[in-house]
Amino acid sequence: MAAASFLLSPRVTLPLRRGSRLLVSCSATSSSSSSDAAGGVGFQGRVGFLGLGIMGAPMASNLMKAGCDITVWNRTKSKCDPLLSLGAKFESSPARVASSCDVTFAMLADPESAFEVACGANGAAEGMAAGKGYVDVSTVDDATSKLIGKRITSTGASFLEAPVSGSKKPAEDGLLIFLTAGDESLYKRVAPLLDVMGKSRFYLGDVGNGAAMKLVVNMVMGSMMVSFAEGLLLSEKVGLDPNTVVEVISQGAINAPMFSLKGPSMVKAAYPTAFPLKHQQKDLRLALALAESVSQPIPTAAAANELYKVAKSLGLADQDFSAVIEALKAEMQSSQH
């Protein structure tokens, strides 16, 4: 019974799907949510989206495909053009987006950008008011998330942090995992929208818990990638075929989709960007700060962070984070001289 009640809890919720098609209707006629005739859950209201980079653009696109009334903003306006061609509206500042929408999502690259877009001059907070909601899906530290939340709620609006686990392809396919915390009523209100963009969502309580969960997940991911890269290079060094290593790992207990997805291109020294290396290093840096704040040693993550820093110094910041293998190659070459 305990397991059954856990699965039915609204705090850990899987989206309602029929086959692979999510049943969601979006309307701009009201700010409340309701059930549609097809049996799915509908969100009614105007939706804003701030930040249309590698992740934000496909997330906003999926909302549009679900029929949502979307208003967008991005620092580089040209990044809005594909969505505008599909019928999205454009506003010239985060404040104007927030003012014209019932709920506004933000997907920014780092804590500094997330704070500036929410709280800076012409930031979203200036357009917020009672009845509106702000959902920050950026990956930031818990302190930044709390600052943003405090500023948003001071306007009478509701705040939800909802960083995502997943990269470019899951964002395109609507298979992200949302790690939410903050206003639970806003969480329930935007649940249909999260289900358009993701395959699962977790409600984790107070603001800061979502940010912390995301940093823990990305800390593990970054460390795993470094260990995987070490294994590929070691196998090659001792005369094994690294492609066979990828295949063996894919059939064993340590299999992870990341290894099967990234391995073949890493063997070819190709790193098409799904999750930029600079963002992985940023998340490791934030995870190290989080661990320091509670006196928790994380030596493996600390070592991994140093390799990502080396990779950045080699000019690989905008490559996929799997390019960290090049830092190991550089270390090998320097040790041979």
Which residues are annotated as catalytic?
A: 214
Spatial separation of the C-alpha atoms in residues 37 and 72, rounded to whole Å: 29
| Widest distance between CA atoms in the chain | 70
Helix, strand, or coil (residue 139): coil
| Closest to 153 measured CA to CA, from 137, 177, 129 | 129
Spatial separation of the C-alpha atoms in residues 118 and 125, rounded to whole Å: 6
Are 112 and 143 a contacting pair, CB within 8 Å?
Answer: no
Spatial separation of the C-alpha atoms in residues 211 and 201, rounded to whole Å: 14
Beta bridge partners of 12: 202
Is residue 178 within a helix (H) or strand (E), and if so which, with residue range? strand 176-182
Strand order of the β-sheet with 41-44 is: 26-27, 41-44, 33-35
The backbone torsions φ and ψ at residue 29, rounded to the nearest 5 degrees and listed phi first, read -85, -15
